[in-house]
Structure 1
Amino acid sequence: MQQEPFFAFNSYHIALAVIGVIVILARWLPRLFSKREPAAAPLMILFGAAAALLIPGLPTLPDPRQTPLPWELVSELTVIVALFGAGMRIDSLRPWKRWKATSRMLGIAMPLTILAVALLGTGFAGLTVAGAILLGAVLAPTDPVLASDVQVGPPHEGAEHPVRFTLTTEAGLNDGLAFPFVYLGLIVAAEGLNPGSWALDWFLRDVVYRIALGIGMGWLGGRALGFILFSVPRGAVLANTGSGVIALAGVLLCYGSTELIEGYGFIAVAVLGLTLRRIEEAHHFHRQLHDFSESIEHALTALLLIALGSVLPILFVDLTWTHFAIAVLLILVVRPLSGWLALSKTDLDNKSRAVISVYGVRGIGSIYYLCYAGSHMEFTNEAQLWSLIALVILMSTILHGFTVGWAMDRIKED
């Protein structure tokens, strides 16, 4: 039997070492230039791409266009943990008027963004109507994962600035609210542009029923989990153990059960976090739950961003200048303008309106939605969609990631 060389360079071990180096460098290098929270997300993507191009022996990750399932599962788990964390961050829901900006961002800015992106897709990128609708739905939501730098702080910190409150609640709810438009794209791809045959069914099932079910299941899940954590048995409640894994268990239970009955799990886990946070509000366990889920979120995000960077050279093969123009228009014109218009009837000053309008970060949620759609149906323009969405994520993380600290400084309360 031939003996293996003493130094055997296993590709798996090379990958582990490279991931470790990238995460450390992405978190550490920005500290050499700024004391603000490091803009690690864009660096992880860029370093992941550089590693794929320059380091021999790295294992090849599955192409998300050909094998979407692993990308869908990891991005799905990352998003649902982030949505729960966003709900847990909100210390106070009242006064109710502070939700006005959020409701206008969800009810006005997001539909305007979907419409504008869909028109750009059909008019400039040559996408089919179904592909353009899907593109709008995928790119409209603010990402709850990569938008954490503009959100409110952990439980019990208080002093929630209106800008951070709006961006947190928007990111927590708009992922689920984009799902009806994902289904709309799938329906148009399957049945054609004939609203008379499917519009009512789409509205009643995918808009009314599934949204209502998501809200209801999230509220019930939050009340049930709160009862288990804080009420029974008296004198030996589970919250006193400090076991943060209950957060992940509760999220998985709520999300899975909601999806089983055809509700929107993304909405359910966000409402779960909001509801659970209202029970025994002063209890220290809320902070432990949040911190545990945030650690899981950060770990999954790092792996997913590095993985995305490693496949960028493949995804960018189909990139065109038209895609670049659409990405620039979305980030610098469509989202800011739709947000500015939506917030025109609020009490926010112009500086706050501008920050909310501009900082609609695109990221992990977009990966999930496109993988979900790709695993359910073959799209004519799927390669183009992946190229464009990967570019938008890269540009968004760079532009927003490196300027968010400066922007947040501008709106700090006196």
Structure 2
Amino acid sequence: MITRHVLTIPASGRRVHYRKCGSGPLLLMVHQSPRSSAEYERLMREWSAHFTCVAPDTPGFGQSDPLPGEPEIADFADALDEFLAALGVETCAAYGFHSGGIILVTALKRHPERFSGLAIGGYAIWTEEEMRIFGDSYLPPFRPSSYGEHLTWLWNRMLEQSWFFPWFDIRDEARLSVAHTDVGRVNAAVMEMLDAGDAYRAGYGAVLRAPRDIPAPESITAPVLITAYQGDPLCAHIERLGDMPPNWHAHAVATPAEHEAESLAFLRRHATDAPALIAEDANEGWLTIGEGLIHWRGERDAERMVLQAPANELTDPGPNEVAIDVPGHGLSSDFADMEDAIEAARDALGARHIAWPQVPQGDPDLLYPDLAPDRYGSHLLRAWSAARAEALFRPWYAADKDHALPVDSAALDPEAIARRARARLRAGGAARRFHKLLIDRTGDPA
């Protein structure tokens, strides 16, 4: 199964979140922007028969801390080198798709000793005219607005970026052949953007600005394979690569499956024999409970294990405490039996007792509206509306003078509403089930 870990880089204190799966030689997998390592979960399961697949969230994406200032592509390449050093990895093979590949090629040039071979899915060589078209339009600021208007933009941007490239260029000439309306895929990308926030512009912008300087033909580097499939907007860029070192090879393929098969075969030929040495922080991680994961933070063997209220995410625990994301909430997997999973987490963490939250005031069937993703992204606005109203009324759906709360400007700050809305979206129907579990435990319907 895929496990999840947090590792703090000693020199900078920057936290890196990564996924791991499989056994054997280590394969580093670097995701595209503005995604996270979650996009590789299927591929990690498939390739785990051959490798220990390790996929970090690039700085500023997923659950990894951003880089300070205004980083460029060299900073992202150096961050990757720091991560491998902190893991204890001297040399490994690596795979990257689109911007992940650009980061890897830069890392190969700056830290050649780290890599035994790279397999790249699409490598962009932009013309000056294409860069002019991108301009500032491709990476607009992404900041929460008071009434959630940004969510309408976000849903449609993520939906239509498989229809047109660039996503804002709505012309027949810019249409893509891989258009889809896969609600699950769109929602996954939306949730990753909600995690990254405006930091997405730093990572994505560094990739777009990066110089496309393939090493000179006489250069000696680790071998590199670049492939792109029909329908990928970077497939045409294969012809733009020009002369390359003798152990670099690039060509177009017909399908994504062919790209993955060729990449796997190449990586197996160039993998190192060194075993994977996995490091992680001692005060945060994920517990493996059956087939699921429970996210935790704090002190093992603490006096109390603290649970958050339904539709919330864990907060930093106090002294002699450990906190978990309740099953189905935050960064924890969902479980059919929440209470059993919570007890198993307490046992695994060595906490002496559980600090259960109070039963929230209100009818659980009204407190937690259906947030299943739909074709139009309306679930995002339902979550935002509830998250905004809960700062003004208790319960939030009873919008009248008898249930009004004193106005709290901090709770109405768009960033605060955004955090609460994201927590609701992550919890979905698990929030209602947890509320009812609290009622069952106490007999108090609040």
TM, length-normalised to structure 1: 0.23
TM-score, structure 2 normalization: 0.22
Structure number with higher relative contact order (C-alpha < 8 Å, ≥ 6 residues apart): 1
Q: Which has the larger radius of gyration?
A: 2
Whose helix fraction is larger, Structure 1's or Structure 2's? 1
Q: Which has the higher strand share?
A: 2
